[in-house]
Amino acid sequence: MSFELSELKFEHIKIDKVEEGNYVVISINRPERLNALQTKTLKEIADAFESMELDKSVRCVVLRGTKDFVKKPAFSAGADLSSRRNPDVDPKNLMDMSQAMHLRQKYYDSIEKFPKPIIAAVDGFALGGGFELVLVCDVVIASKRSTFGFPEIKRGIAPFNGGTQRLIRTLGKMRTKTMMYFGEHYSA
């Protein structure tokens, strides 16, 4: 499936193409929810990346949270827990839950496989699924007020979008274990 970026309509992200620099800025645009991620948000991001894959005028993509934050700055505060009540997914049905997790994982994987450089521009929170989104990027540039972590660990939930495996490749085994065992957050 291939489509032009200009053909796509997005609700959760904004796209700005910078012609003179040959790059695109994708901004997660849910400031009232600290850019929390719904499955729809991840699908929009993955669709945007797919549309740019063969576009020779795009040489790099910057992924960021919106500049228009309402509460606090955030790249993404992670999963949108208010959207957990998806009518298509029965939380008591393991098949439904497994399929929903598989779909989210597919979006992270497709973003990670994007053949051009992805720069995560992080300002504020990059937590949970937001941190996992940072980990699929090639380069991370973070402001001093940025915080990275998996808060779900303290709720007894393991990151399930490939974050632990990507974190080991990025930080190494020892630092990853410390983060996973104690749920610690790290500042930029």
Asked if 123 and 142 touch (Cβ cutoff 8 Å), the reply is: yes
139 torsion bin: left (phi>0), alpha (psi -120 to 50), beta (else): beta
| Active site (catalytic) residues | 132, 152
Distance CA 150, CA 52 (A): 30
Q: Give the burial class of 137: count Cβ atoms within 10 A of its Cβ; 0-12 exposed, 13-18 middle, 19 or more buried.
A: buried
Asked if 60 and 110 touch (Cβ cutoff 8 Å), the reply is: no
Structure tokens at 111: 């973003």
- Which CA distances in Å does 155 have to 28, 120, 152, 158? 25, 27, 5, 9
Asked if 134 and 112 touch (Cβ cutoff 8 Å), the reply is: no
